[in-house]
Amino acid sequence: MPAAWKTGLIEVAPKVFAYVQATGETGISNSGLIVGDDTATAVDALMVPSMTRRFVAAIRTATRKPVGRLINTHHHLDHTGGNRFFRAATIVSHERCREVLAAGFPPLPLLRRFMPRFAKEFPQLRVVLPSLTFEDRLTIHDGQREIQLWHPGAPAHTVGDAAVFLPTERVLFAGDLAFHYVTPLAFQGDVGNWIKAVTRLLRFDADVIVPGHGPIGTKADLKKLRNYLALVRREARQRFDAGMPAEEAARDIKLGVYASWREAERILPNVLRCYQEFRNELDRPLDVPAMLDGMERLRGDRADHACL
């Protein structure tokens, strides 16, 4: 578990960059930049204006070419909130990503409660929808470079996930299908399918994996993420079968090394979604305020333990 990691715009292959934000906690995601012959492609737009402005300023240190294309890896606010800063770009996403984004961002009071440190900037958010969508695969031929978009075929982290793969450079922008050293959050996901999606991502011929949250890594880091999800699902299943309530299960599961990953209390929504999966109720949204209450209780418990 690294205490800190390299942040900012980092060149991971010739003219291919990851933009990494510190901590990787809720709302603090990574993005990417692929500089082509005539135009540049951004991968995700970050969340609040102060973040996206810093990202755009970093892009300007790397290239003068216009950002003609923006890929949204999924609909979550921390990846699409900054879409409006890319006015000249064609925004590309999975069709379900666009569909869910079209319903708008969550209401302000909920956002403020979920991510209080960004509360001031939330009123400035505007939804800007993708104008080009795909279903399973899309290959963009950008000069000599191929930019491949891949959807896992079923809901995983969200209903409309997309990974961006550069086969020549062997770089994979995994969006939130990958979290490195930050606890993954499945509150709108399907943990069973997410594990399968990661197994398939691990077959990509990639040397560099840029996760949605946390430091740039490799397949070794992505395997740790898969192991976390598998551990939580396996342990949740045992407790579900034994009739244990979800919050008790979340408290009872021993996370081992994963207890040191950031935002470990996300075990609760992850277990809640596993329970919904076992009941065949994944189409029902989680009660987010109740989930946040439960996460606060878990955080409190953990802080008490740390004091003892």
Q: Residues in the site for Zn ion, rule: CB under 5 A?
A: 29, 76, 78, 176, 212
Whose Cβ is closer to Zn ion: residue 212's or residue 269's?
A: 212
- Shortest distance, CB of residue 205 to Zn ion, whole angstroms? 25
Provide the b/e sequence for 287-298 (b: ≥16 CB within 10 Å). eeeebbebbeeb
- Shortest distance, CB of residue 177 to Zn ion, whole angstroms? 10
- Shortest distance, CB of residue 61 to Zn ion, whole angstroms? 24
Which residue in this structure is represented by tokens 């020549």?
168
Cα 140 to Cα 147: distance, rounded to the nearest angstrom: 5
Whose Cβ is closer to Zn ion: residue 235's or residue 263's?
A: 263
Q: Which residues contact 143 (CB under 8 A, 6 or more apart)?
A: 36, 37, 38
DSSP annotation of 263: T
Start-to-end CA distance of the chain, whole Å, equals 23
Whose Cβ is closer to Zn ion: residue 29's or residue 41's?
A: 29
Whose Cβ is closer to Zn ion: residue 36's or residue 212's?
A: 212
Q: Which amino acid is at 24?
A: G
C-alpha dist (Å) from residue 149 to 137, 172, 289, 297:
6, 10, 34, 39
- Shortest distance, CB of residue 211 to Zn ion, whole angstroms? 9
Contact 107, 127 (CB under 8 A): no
Contact 210, 171 (CB under 8 A): yes
Whose Cβ is closer to Zn ion: residue 174's or residue 253's?
A: 174
Residue 74 is encoded by which pair of tokens? 């999924």
Whose Cβ is closer to Zn ion: residue 78's or residue 247's?
A: 78
Residue 280 is encoded by which pair of tokens? 């065949």
- Shortest distance, CB of residue 304 to Zn ion, whole angstroms? 29
Whose Cβ is closer to Zn ion: residue 36's or residue 160's?
A: 160
- Shortest distance, CB of residue 298 to Zn ion, whole angstroms? 20
- Shortest distance, CB of residue 175 to Zn ion, whole angstroms? 8
Q: Which residues contact 94 (CB under 8 A, 6 or more apart)?
A: 74, 133, 134, 135, 149, 151, 160, 161, 162
Q: What is the DSSP string of 142-172?
A: ETTEEEEEE--SS-SSSTT--EEEETTTTEE
DSSP annotation of 124: G
Whose Cβ is closer to Zn ion: residue 9's or residue 178's?
A: 178
- Shortest distance, CB of residue 26 to Zn ion, whole angstroms? 8
DSSP annotation of 37: S
